[in-house]
Structure 1
Amino acid sequence: MPDYVEYNEEAKVSNWRKFVRKNLLLHLIPNTLLNSIVPYFAFKMQNSVHLFSGEQNLARFLLPMSALLPFMVTFDILKKIKELQHSDAINYKVEEKITGYPFILKKAGLNGLYCITIVFILMLTLYFSFPPNHDFGITSSAVCAGLLAGLYSVTFFYLAIRKFKIDAV
């Protein structure tokens, strides 16, 4: 019996590692690519990219992304952790299981709210730091949007699992 328990624990740690690898790549690659390509082609239709002014401005892409991406990544990961916890497929640090969606929605909503607040404050700081009608450049704006999406994917993935992850020694 102890050999079976030890094997089961090793399998749960292995399942956790597979879960982390698979889902991190599942969130990172599409978010980075899509959030680089879509703004690039939207910005390509105009001569310059401004922070808040103009038909296709940078804030039009960054602010919704800064609210929705952290919310969706956190919600998705916590929902998957909940399913794995209830099937006893992974080891987790916290003794309590995620029982319902109020916890998941609260955590995801707070992540989205905090992120959009920080990004908005940083964008206002940039807006007042640069001269009026400063052009940020098409390619650099699209690349920055994609890199920011990739950063959100990794950061909020790890923030979502931080409470539940077992430190494998």
Structure 2
Amino acid sequence: MSDLELDTQAKVSNWHKFVRKNLLIHLIPNTVLNTVVPYFAFKTQNAVHLFSGEQNLARFLLPMSLLLPFMITLDILKKIKELQHAEAIHYKLDEKITGYPFILKKAGLNSLCTIAIVFTCMLALHYAFPNNHDFGIAPSAISAGLLAGLYSLTFFYLAIRKFKDDAV
């Protein structure tokens, strides 16, 4: 094997390590924390409502829907930018991150689209269920955790799909 082929294999291997490591770094803590925190907050009350009450489901889902997509996209794109400039990963040559305006624009767009979709879905649920419907403590906490896990997977994939080489 030539040095060029070995270098390419090393970069592909680095890409795979990057994907596995960072996916787990985002998936596990986000899922666990966004299940445990709402569970203990909801446990202090009798019922969990969508928008009403001191500890409502919207209080956890809306900030999470704004911040998680933004932070995941920002973190992953910054790491890809660093690896690209160090030429440590194999990527499509025409898809190199050049600056932070692109990263912030992509993260902001992901975040705003997500919160708009989640808010619309929550409004639909609000009008579909009777007034003061109790969503339950455990189902609400588990739903928040699963949504955080879904965000971790989705926005990790959305951040890397443009830069992932077809051969990888």
Which amino acid counterpart does residue 55 of structure 2 have in structure 1? Q
| Residue 168 (structure 1) aligns with | 167
- Counterparts of 2:73 and 2:110, CA distance in 1: 8
- SS of residue in 2 equivalent to 1:29: helix
Which amino acid counterpart does residue 165 of structure 1 have in structure 2? K
Deviations along 1:5-49, one digit per CA (max 9) or x if unpaired, are: 000000000000000000000000000000000000000000000
- SS of residue in 1 equivalent to 2:135: coil
Deviations along 1:99-124, one digit per CA (max 9) or x if unpaired, are: 11100000000000000000000000
Q: Does 1:48 align with 2:59?
A: no
Give the TM-score normalised by the residue count of structure 2.
Answer: 0.98
Deviations along 1:38-94, one digit per CA (max 9) or x if unpaired, are: 000000000000000000000000000000000000000000000000000001124
- SS of residue in 2 equivalent to 1:90: coil
- Whether the aligned pair in 2 keeps the contact of 1:32 and 1:149 (CA below 8 Å) is yes
- Counterparts of 1:94 and 1:102, CA distance in 2: 20
Identity of aligned residues (%): 76
Deviations along 1:119-169, one digit per CA (max 9) or x if unpaired, are: 000000000000110000000000000000000000000000010001236
- SS of residue in 2 equivalent to 1:79: helix
Aligned length: 168
- Counterparts of 1:94 and 1:142, CA distance in 2: 43
After TM superposition, the runs of 4+ consecutive aligned structure 1 residues lying more than 4 A away are none
- Counterparts of 2:167 and 2:44, CA distance in 1: 50
Which amino acid counterpart does residue 31 of structure 2 have in structure 1? T
List aligned pairs for 1:4-19, cutoff 5 A.
4-19=3-18
Which amino acid counterpart does residue 40 of structure 1 have in structure 2? Y
Return 5+ residue gaps in structure 1 as ranges. none
- Counterparts of 1:11 and 1:28, CA distance in 2: 26
- SS of residue in 2 equivalent to 1:98: coil
Q: State the shift of 1:98 in Å.
A: 1.0
- Whether the aligned pair in 2 keeps the contact of 1:94 and 1:163 (CA below 8 Å) is no
Give the TM-score normalised by the residue count of structure 1.
Answer: 0.97
| Residue 108 (structure 1) aligns with | 107
- Counterparts of 1:85 and 1:92, CA distance in 2: 8
| Residue 154 (structure 1) aligns with | 153
Return 5+ residue gaps in structure 2 as ranges. none
- Counterparts of 2:96 and 2:155, CA distance in 1: 20
- Counterparts of 1:125 and 1:16, CA distance in 2: 41
CA RMSD, 1 decimal: 0.9
| Residue 140 (structure 1) aligns with | 139
- Counterparts of 1:96 and 1:27, CA distance in 2: 24
